[in-house]
Amino acid sequence: MSDNHLKDMDYGTYLGLDRILDAQRLISAADPKRKGEPAHDEMLFIIVHQAYELWFKLILFEMSRVQEIFSDIPVADRDLRPVVASMERIVETLKLLVQQLDVLETMTPLDFLEFRHVFRSASGFQSAQFRELEIRLGLRRDERMCYGGHAYDVVLPDAAKAALEAWENKPSLFQQFENWLSRTPFVDTGSYKFWDSYRAAVYQMLDEDLQNSPAEDRSKIDNTRESFDELFAAEEPEGWRFSAKALQAALFINMYRDQPVLHQPYRILHLAMDIDELLTVWRYRHALMVQRMIGMKSGSGGSTGHRYLIETAERHRVFSDLFRLSTFLIPRSARPELPEDVQKQMAFVYEGAAA
């Protein structure tokens, strides 16, 4: 592109508005019953879904930076700031996805029926970008719900299938986080072993609770102890996606998040939970909107509609392990103190110099 072209570029040219604003084709006008008159609310329907695809593109763009950084071994501490920045942007974008449903719901079910039949088998289920987002976050093929009895990609064009299969064979963000967590220093330094210290603190806390609690509360404490027994019993706890090393590191980061070196790692884990939560909220809100619009009818593209969407809200989660970790947090008053040498390693360098 020449310098002259750059100087002459105007707002519309830079944004490609001629293509974007010409991309809303109201096909309801071609319905013989409508005699060339389009359904008014089809414009809203198209624009909202086009906007979704643009936001998906931005989310995938930000994920690329995060995944590129996490592909390094080790991940440089200085690169955690752009990771946090991109994840924060993803979170705010997902909030917009949820809010857009408010705009879409200004359309009534009767208004939707005016043009629903014209897009036939077209469905949001066919969004290749959203499938890519799920895969890159860490949703595995064997964890997906079937779509009308078939695999999720059966409705996609061959090129999209091939692209998604390629993503399935690359490390997901979940796997990258797991590997990163597994390399967390300070958890096991030789002289200090977090897991041993934590286990001793847990059982001391439970023993004290048992001694100081009324008889009617002791069964609850016993149940809590059983949960901790299961966590400590196996080298690789069952029912978790993260490895034992990654789980221990995530718990360590949560418990000692006030240590300077853990500020950014804790923020990253918190943002991963935000992303998982917002996608769940979006799926759930989407399911409610579909039920509001079509009741118990089959969804577009042959899905079961509301029922399929509501089940994916619960089952298509990626970072549920981070939510479950809250079960095993203990109060700061019961938390074991870190050894002084470990605290020094986790502090800012200039703190020691100032002292």
pLDDT at 6: 62
Query: Which one, of 44, 91, 153, 57, lies nearest residue 282 by Cα?
Result: 91
CATH topology of domain 37-187+240-327+338-354: Methane Monooxygenase Hydroxylase; Chain G, domain 1 (1.20.58)
Domain ranges of the chain: 37-187+240-327+338-354
Max mean pLDDT among 168-177, 187-196, 287-296 falls in 168-177
DSSP designation for 150:
B
pLDDT at 237: 81
- pTM of the entire structure? 0.91
Q: Looking at the DSSP assignment, which residues form a beta bridge with residue 150?
A: 147
Query: Which one, of 188, 179, 337, lies nearest residue 255 by Cα?
Result: 337
Residue 298 pLDDT exceeds 70: no
Give mean pLDDT, residues 322-348. 93
pLDDT at 300: 54
Tokens 């005699």 belong to residue: 35
Residue 143 pLDDT exceeds 90: no
List own/partner pairs for 161-170 with CB under 8 A and 24 or more apart: 163/128, 163/132, 164/128, 164/131, 164/132, 164/135, 167/132, 167/135, 167/136, 168/135, 168/140, 168/141
pLDDT at 308: 78
Q: How far is CA 11 from the centre of its chain?
A: 34
Residue 121 pLDDT exceeds 90: no
Tokens of 27: 């096909």
Q: How far apart are CA 130 and CA 331, in angstroms?
A: 39
Q: How far apart are CA 38 and CA 46, in angstroms?
A: 13
For residues 347 and 261, the answer to whether their CB atoms sit within 8 Å is yes
For residues 139 and 316, the answer to whether their CB atoms sit within 8 Å is yes
Residue 296 pLDDT exceeds 70: no
For residues 141 and 151, the answer to whether their CB atoms sit within 8 Å is yes
CA angle 150, 301, 282 (to 5 degrees): 90
| pLDDT range class, residue 149, cuts 50, 70, 90 | confident
pLDDT at 1: 55
What's the mean per-residue pLDDT of the chain? 90
- Maximum alpha-carbon separation in the chain: 84
Burial class (CB in 10 A: 0-12, 13-18, 19+), 216: exposed
Summarize pLDDT for 272-287 with one digit per residue, the tens.
999 999 999 999 999 9
pLDDT at 35: 87
Name which residue leads in pLDDT, 354 or 269.
269
Is 151 strand, coil or helix?
coil
pLDDT at 44: 97
pLDDT at 305: 64
Bond into 74 cis (ω within 30):
yes
pLDDT at 152: 81
Tokens 């008014």 belong to residue: 40
| pLDDT range class, residue 297, cuts 50, 70, 90 | low
Q: Looking at the DSSP assignment, which residues form a beta bridge with residue 147?
A: 150
Summarize pLDDT for 75-88 with one digit per residue, the tens.
999 999 999 999 99
Summarize pLDDT for 44-76 with one digit per residue, the tens.
999 999 999 999 999 999 999 999 999 999 999
| pLDDT range class, residue 218, cuts 50, 70, 90 | confident
